[in-house]
Amino acid sequence: MAGILYIVPTPVGNLEDMTFRAIKVLKEADLILAEDTRTSSVLLHRYEIHGKLQSHHKFNEHQTAEMIKDRILSGLNVALISDAGTPGISDPGFLLARTCAAEGIEVQTLPGATACIPAIVSSGLPCDRFCFEGFLPVKKGRQTMLTELAAETRTMIFYESPYRLVKTLEQFAEFFGEDRECSVAREISKLHEEHRRGTLKEVAAWYREHEPKGEIVIVVAGAPSKGKSKKDRKEETED
């Protein structure tokens, strides 16, 4: 009888964000796949999880996915974790989940931590409809994507490196308009969590004067719907 692939979210900051079920699954798994075994060892030690740990990251996932699939088919229960958050969301995990699902293997994803949801809910921007864009291309295709997103009416969520934050905000201002509202969430669920809100112009100016550090999530308001003013959209949100 085939085993199960468990996709297990891990805390994006505070280690106490781990769920009871996640701990149970990791303790009972025959094999735990980790993006970085050194990082994951800290979490596993905290919760006295002593399961077998194996590396599974973006540089080896194409080589290991088939092997892991075969081990699950042989009856092993395998749990996949990333350094932080939910595997598959801008982290390794998609390829293994797709490989197992295509083989008819049961894939169970536990609900849990991910940085994008706290960021949009805390932003004060509409979160009834949104699109997640993750990390934008650094070079090739970046301007094409920004041009397309300029007309996106849903709230947009992006991940970004602190080293590229100011440049990205300036590009957003160029393509979306400097008065477009945004929120930058930094170090979610960590000691120095910060949310900086304002227009793209204002927030970019702030971070030019205050060097950003840590994990970054940018939330940007969508473009005004045709025929609707900014005031109309605000009243709809309040309703």
Averaged over 168-196, what is the pLDDT?
A: 96
Q: Are residues 84 and 172 in the same domain?
A: no
Structure tokens at 30: 């025959």
Residue 236 confidence class, pLDDT cut points 50, 70, 90: low
- What is the pLDDT, as a whole number, of residue 28? 96
Q: Are residues 58 and 128 in the same domain?
A: no
Q: Are residues 58 and 89 in the same domain?
A: yes
Residue 51 confidence class, pLDDT cut points 50, 70, 90: confident
Q: Are residues 94 and 123 in the same domain?
A: no
pLDDT at 235 over 90: no
- What is the pLDDT, as a whole number, of residue 228? 55
pLDDT at 78 over 90: yes
pLDDT at 1 over 80: yes
Residue 227 confidence class, pLDDT cut points 50, 70, 90: low
- What is the pLDDT, as a whole number, of residue 238? 56
* CATH code of the domain containing 25: 3.40.1010.10
pLDDT at 230 over 80: no
Beta strands in the chain (DSSP E): 4-7, 31-34, 53-55, 78-81, 106-109, 130-134, 155-160, 181-186, 194-199, 216-220
Interval 32-43: pLDDT, tens: 999 999 999 999
Pairing of strands 78-81, 4-7: parallel
Residue that finishes a domain, picked among 43, 74, 109: 109
Residue that finishes a domain, picked among 56, 85, 109: 109
Residue that finishes a domain, picked among 109, 132, 162: 109
Q: Are residues 120 and 233 in the same domain?
A: yes
| Mean residue pLDDT across the chain | 92
Count structural domains, the chain: 2
- What is the pLDDT, as a whole number, of residue 213? 93
pLDDT at 10 over 80: yes
Beta strands in 114-173 (DSSP E): 130-134, 155-160
Q: Are residues 231 and 132 in the same domain?
A: yes
| pTM listed for this prediction | 0.88
Q: Are residues 210 and 147 in the same domain?
A: yes
Interval 110-162: pLDDT, tens: 999 999 999 999 999 999 999 999 999 988 899 999 999 999 999 999 999 99
Q: Are residues 143 and 234 in the same domain?
A: yes
Rounded distance between C-alpha atoms, residue 72 and residue 66, angstroms:
10
Rounded distance between C-alpha atoms, residue 8 and residue 40, angstroms:
12
Q: Are residues 155 and 105 in the same domain?
A: no
Q: Are residues 65 and 129 in the same domain?
A: no
Q: Are residues 123 and 103 in the same domain?
A: no
Q: Are residues 122 and 221 in the same domain?
A: yes
Rounded to the nearest 10°, the torsion over CA 114, 148, 182, 178 is: 160
List the domain range (segments joined by +) for residue 14.
4-109
* CATH code of the domain containing 183: 3.30.950.10
Least confident piece of the model among 47-51, 61-65, 105-109: 61-65
